[in-house]
Amino acid sequence: MFKLLKQEGRARRGCFETPHGTVQTPVFMNVGTQGAIKGALSARDLKEIGCQVELSNTYHLHVRPGDELIKDMGGLHRFMTWDGPILTDSGGFQIFSLAKLRKINEDGVKFNSHVDGRHIFMGPEESMRIQANLGSDIAMAFDECIKIPSPKDYVSRSCDRTYRWLQRCKKALAEYNAMDDAVNPGQMLFGINQGAIFADIRVEHMKKIAELDLPGYAIGGLAVGESHQEMYDTIEAVEEYMPKDKPRYLMGVGTPGNIIECVHRGVDFFDCVMPARNGRHGHLFTWEGIINIKNEKYSRDTDPVDPQCRCPVCSRYSRAYLRHLFKAEEMLAMRLAVAHNLYFYNSLAERIRKSLESGNFEQFRHNFSEKLDKRI
């Protein structure tokens, strides 16, 4: 499934086989929460901007339009006409964000829908059923995303429960994959390491979930309020105990600099809403740093957003035109900005892979880790 092709320090160049194609790693997954990128990008657009893996959300698709409907339509790949790999997250983070509306026990979580307020119950078996109906290539285990800071005794108890939930997820998904009407019988389960920023709890939890021999593992519960250094320290503590022959996924991270630094620490998979969200507000990533295209200084600028970029936007449109679209509140502004930013993130992952292949990743890190996060 996962093949390690080259390594420089802890940084890894690999490939991962899925039922819908091979993923070259390190990889940035493009987030289409409800089966679409926020910014009016279609599955066809994703191909043009170099997306390898599309990520959708279990909770949101369960609430609307419904996972049973998507199954009846042939699964999420057919529904959104995307023929590449798809990862679905378990819904755990969304439940975390609904903290005031939830009740957690050993069975799972009871909460109210953010759409219509109706009562919903989700546990490991329900999350696996929904993800099996969606037919993604990678299903994420159902877990509790713990807020930071939290009391250490609560974090410890939560991780014990998340481990028990993971055992139930593994059993349930195996049963769904064996069914005659399985949408994607090759669907794979990734386990999620939790533990807030307590290194000892993180390490112990990682050791336990590694014993389940799953196709891949994620580090969850970060980028929720801790500092960048605390995040890096947590990854370094856990990485040593993550299986070397399985992909490592850091959930919900992050800036271009974060990605480079976490590749340096042994991470293979990334996702984040940042490039799409920032793009919708006119904040665009370039190889010189981050620009605010709404600034007056771009009103007569005939250069592309980034002269070094080869995306469909930079090959055709000027900064002045894009600024005009934002000022005129045209929908096209959002679409072009999001397309550029996602292309940038996908290209960043590609350049990281090439630097690892040529053995100069550390030089790449030195050149770009801080530079790409600066506003210019």
The CATH number of the domain where 149 resides is what? 3.20.20.105
Q: Which of 89, 137, 143, 306 is catalytic?
A: 89
Average pLDDT over residues 38-56: 97
Domain boundary among the residues 272, 305, 320 is at: 272
pLDDT of residue 98: 64
Per-residue confidence (pLDDT) for residue 79, from 0 to 100: 98
Q: Which long-range contacts (CB under 8 A, 24 or more apart) does 95-102 make?
A: 95/59, 95/122, 95/144, 95/145, 96/144, 96/145, 96/146, 96/147, 96/224, 99/147
Judged by phi (left if over 0) then psi (alpha if -120 to 50, else beta), residue 126 lies in: alpha
**How many domains is the chain built from?**
2
Last residue of a domain, one of 272, 292, 327: 272
> Which of residues 241, 272, 303 is at a domain's end?
272
Same domain, 251 and 325: no
Give residue-wise pLDDT tens across range 207-230. Answer: 999 999 999 999 999 998 899 999
Whole-Å CA distances, 169 to 47, 174, 189: 32, 8, 8
Model pLDDT, residue 99: 57
Are 198 and 319 part of one and the same domain?
no
89 is catalytic: yes
Tell me the pLDDT band of 97, cut-offs 50, 70 and 90: confident
Residues 221 and 346 placed together within one structural domain of the fold:
no
**Cβ distance 32 to 54 under 8 Å?**
yes
Integer Cα distance of 313 and 311 in angstroms: 5
Residues 152 and 116 in one domain: yes
State residue 94's pLDDT score: 72
Which whole number is the average pLDDT over 357-365?
Answer: 98
**Residue among 45, 137, 143, 271 flagged as catalytic:** 271
- Amino acid residing at 235: I
Residues 255 and 286 in one domain: no
214 and 355 both lie in a single domain: no
Same domain? For 196 and 336 the reply is no
Domain that holds residue 13: 2-272
Same domain, 196 and 78: yes
3-class DSSP state of 112: strand
92 pLDDT band (50/70/90 cuts)? confident
